[in-house]
């Protein structure tokens, strides 16, 4: 939190806190955007759930009807959001049960384990995308880079044989290298020919998808004895093992530590290293960066190496911690984390800490949405709607400011967050 108040007298602190809560600070705007997202989600539940609509239709039939209608509305909206919470964080009743009886901890920890499992690759890939954004560059090809990283890591993990202490690092490094190979192409093209990175990265995605099908159908990499598009299974020595052991049934793996290491690295890199400083200066003001002797070519190529490498790492972490194989649908379609990463980086304002929190939020909405659909029948897509609305409001702070009558921020923050999006 950059808004650390300079320790005034107790009476003034309360006032200062109130001022901060009604200001346009990015944290306030994000939280309010979240509130708006859930509010719109509730409206959608109300207008699309037959039971709720029926209750409101009966409004004029009896004196008790308005009360009933309200109750039905609250029941349905509440059930949806309640199952979203219990499915992604924890179920209080279940947790209490396991704490008092000492049994069933698997079931009570499953929701948070699933959220962390989903968040792991998101954190890594969004950090990479965020670093590129901070430099004023758009990496729309993170998905293809992650797929290539997954293929490279999958090959290393399934076709090489060595002890785990070597095999796991080799697999992860192969993943990073795969992502870098795919990332450096748009970087070099941009740096030396001026080709726009958006076009090149987005088109490379399709090349990589085609390559993925080729790879998983080629005899060397395809699962022996299968004729469909599925790769060999990675050796146990190349897999990121579950944190609490395979017997626990909890899927959260050591990959979460890889993700945390990436966040730490990104924070150090951007805030403490001199190359990171060059990156940020280039992003903030390319001409000033040039004038002060920063080579924009080097920066562009380096940014794409790092961003692509992190995307590749995300791809192999995803494969090594969950499925342990790559198939023709790997990270394609709705599972395309490289595109989710763009919104997460925006929501997290391209800062490592912000990206960590937004990834957890997106993962929780996705995982909780599944439980919501299973429990209440409200489609999982509602979670996507809420995600999109939150991002929409974060991207247009003016709307949030108008809706909640926030006062203008004293500091620079909002400008900084959206910089690079118009260049």
Partner 1 sequence: MRNIRRLGTVLGAASLVLGTLTVSVAATTVSASAATKFKACVVTDTGGINDKSFNASAWAGAEAAAKQDKNIDPSYLSSTSSADYSPNIKTFEGEGCGIIVTVGFLMDPATLAGANADAKQKFAIVDDAPVGLKHDNVLALQYETDQAGFLGGMLAAGKSVTGTVATYGGEDFSSVTLYMNGFVAGVRYYDKTYNAKVKVLGWTPAKGACSLATCNGKGTFVGNFTDQTAGKTITTGDFSDGADIVFPVAGSVGLGSVAAAQQAGAGHSIMWVDSNGCVSDATDCKWFVGTVAKGVEPSVEAAVLAAAKGTFKGGSYVGTLANSGTLLEYGGIKVPSKLKSEIATAKAGIIAGTISVNPNKYPVG
Tell me if 61 contacts partner 1 by CB under 8 A. Answer: no
In terms of CB distance, is 45 or 289 closer to partner 1?
A: 45
State which H helix or E strand residue 319 sits in.
Answer: none
Q: Which is nearer to partner 1, 233 or 285 (CB)?
A: 233
**Which one of residues 25, 29, 40, 81 is an interface residue with partner 1 (CB under 8 A)?**
81
Q: Which is nearer to partner 1, 95 or 266 (CB)?
A: 95
Asked if 107 interacts with partner 1 (CB under 8 A), we say yes
Complex with partner 1: residue 163 or 225, whichever CB lies closer: 225
Alpha-carbon span 44 to 53, nearest angstrom? 11
CB of 174 to partner 1, least distance (A): 20
CA 351 to chain centre: 13
d(CA 323, CA 127): 23
Q: Is 373 in the site for partner 1 (CB under 8 A)?
A: yes
Helix (H) or strand (E) holding 138: none
Smaller CB separation from partner 1, 91 or 197: 91
Q: Is 78 in the site for partner 1 (CB under 8 A)?
A: yes
Nearer to partner 1, 51 or 264 (CB): 51
Of 56, 281, 370, 416, the one binding partner 1 by CB under 8 A = 370
The least distance separating partner 1 from the CB of residue 284, rounded to whole angstroms, comes to: 34
C-alpha angle 379/381/384, rounded to 5°? 150
**Interface residues for partner 1 in 206-235 (CB under 8 A)?**
227-228, 230
Long-range contacts of 281-290 (CB under 8 A, 24+ apart): 282/135, 282/136, 283/133, 283/134, 283/135, 283/136, 283/137, 283/419, 283/420, 284/136, 284/419, 286/136
Q: Are 107 and 242 in contact (CB under 8 A)?
A: no
Coil/strand/helix, residue 23? strand
Among 167, 251, 349, 401, binds partner 1 (CB under 8 A): 251
Tokens encoding 396: 């247009």
Q: Which stretch binds partner 1 (CB under 8 A): 109-117, 123-131, 284-292, 394-402?
A: 109-117
Nearest distance, CB of residue 371 and partner 1, angstroms: 6
Number of residues this chain uses to bind partner 1 (CB under 8 A): 43
Write out the binding residues for partner 1, residues 270-329 only, by CB under 8 A.
Answer: 318, 322-323, 327, 329
Ordered DSSP codes for 205-274 = HHHHHHHHHHHHHSTTTBPTT--SSBBPPPPGGGS--BTT-GGG----BTHHHHHHHHHHHHHHHHHH-H
Closest to 163 (Cα-Cα) out of 236, 270, 272, 58? 236
| Cα–Cα distance, 215 to 147 (Å, whole number) | 11
Closer residue to partner 1, CB minimum distance, 289 or 332: 332
- Residue among 33, 52, 112, 114 that touches partner 1 (CB under 8 A): 114
Task: From 146, 110, 67, select the one nearest 310 (Cα to Cα).
Answer: 146
How is residue 146 written in tokens?
């992650």
Report the site for partner 1 in 18-47 (rule: CB under 8 A). 22
Distances (CA, A) of 138 to 13, 200, 382: 41, 10, 28
87 makes contact with partner 1 (CB under 8 A): yes
Tell me the two tokens of residue 352: 């490592």
Give the whole-angstrom CA distance, residue 18 versus residue 21: 5
x/- map, 381-420, partner 1, by CB under 8 A? -----------------------xx---------------
Check residue 93 for interaction with partner 1 (CB under 8 A). yes
User: If binding is defined by CB under 8 A, does position 13 make contact with partner 1?
Assistant: no
Nearer of residues 162 and 370 to partner 1, judged by Cβ? 370
Comparing CB distances to partner 1, the nearer of 36 and 414 is: 36
Q: Which of 380, 385, 392, 395 binds partner 1 (CB under 8 A)?
A: 380
* Smallest separation, CB 183 to partner 1 (Å): 23
Q: Which residues bind partner 1 (CB under 8 A)?
A: 22, 71, 74-75, 77-79, 81-83, 85, 87, 93, 107, 110-111, 114, 227-228, 230, 249, 251, 318, 322-323, 327, 329-335, 367, 370-371, 373-375, 377, 380, 404-405
């Amino acid at each position: 939190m950059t808004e650390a108040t300079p320790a005034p007298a107790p009476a003034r602190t309360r006032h200062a806190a109130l001022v901060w809560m009604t200001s346009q600070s990015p944290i306030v705007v994000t939280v309010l955007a979240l509130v708006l997202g859930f509010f719109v989600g509730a409206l959608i539940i109300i207008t699309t759930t037959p039971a709720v609509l029926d209750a409101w239709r009966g409004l004029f039939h009896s004196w008790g009807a308005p009360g009933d209608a309200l109750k039905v509305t609250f029941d349905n909206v509440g059930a949806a959001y309640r199952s979203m919470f219990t499915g992604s964080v924890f179920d209080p009743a279940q947790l209490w049960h396991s704490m008092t009886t000492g049994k069933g901890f698997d079931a009570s920890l499953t929701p948070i384990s699933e959220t962390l499992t989903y968040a792991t690759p998101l954190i890594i890939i969004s950090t990479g995308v965020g670093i590129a954004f901070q430099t004023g560059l758009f990496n729309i090809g993170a998905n293809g880079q992650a797929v290539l990283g997954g293929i490279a890591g999958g090959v290393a993990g399934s076709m090489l044989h060595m002890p785990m202490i070597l095999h796991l690092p080799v697999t992860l490094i192969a993943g990073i290298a795969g992502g870098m190979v795919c990332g450096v192409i748009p970087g070099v093209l941009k740096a030396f020919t001026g080709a726009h990175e958006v076009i090149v990265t987005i088109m490379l995605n399709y090349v990589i998808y085609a390559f993925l099908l080729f790879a998983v159908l080629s005899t060397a990499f395809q699962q022996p004895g299968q004729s469909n598009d599925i790769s060999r299974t990675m050796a146990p020595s190349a897999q990121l093992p579950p944190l609490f052991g395979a017997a626990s049934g909890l899927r959260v793996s050591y990959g979460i530590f890889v993700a945390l290491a990436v966040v730490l690295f990104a924070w150090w890199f951007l805030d403490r290293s001199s190359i990171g400083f060059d990156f940020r200066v280039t992003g903030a003001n390319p001409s000033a960066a040039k004038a002060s002797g920063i080579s924009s070519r080097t920066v562009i190529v380096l940014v794409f190496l790092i961003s692509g490498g992190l995307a590749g790492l995300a791809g192999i972490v995803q494969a090594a911690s969950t499925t342990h194989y790559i198939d023709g649908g790997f990270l394609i379609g709705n599972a395309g984390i490289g595109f989710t990463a763009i919104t997460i980086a925006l929501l997290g304002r391209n800062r490592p800490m912000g990206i960590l929190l937004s990834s957890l939020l997106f993962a929780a909405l996705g995982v909780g949405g599944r439980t919501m659909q299973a429990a209440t029948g409200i489609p999982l897509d509602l979670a996507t709607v809420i995600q999109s609305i939150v991002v929409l409001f974060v991207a247009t702070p003016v709307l949030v400011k108008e809706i909640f009558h926030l006062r203008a921020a004293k500091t620079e923050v909002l400008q900084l967050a959206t910089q690079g999006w118009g260049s």
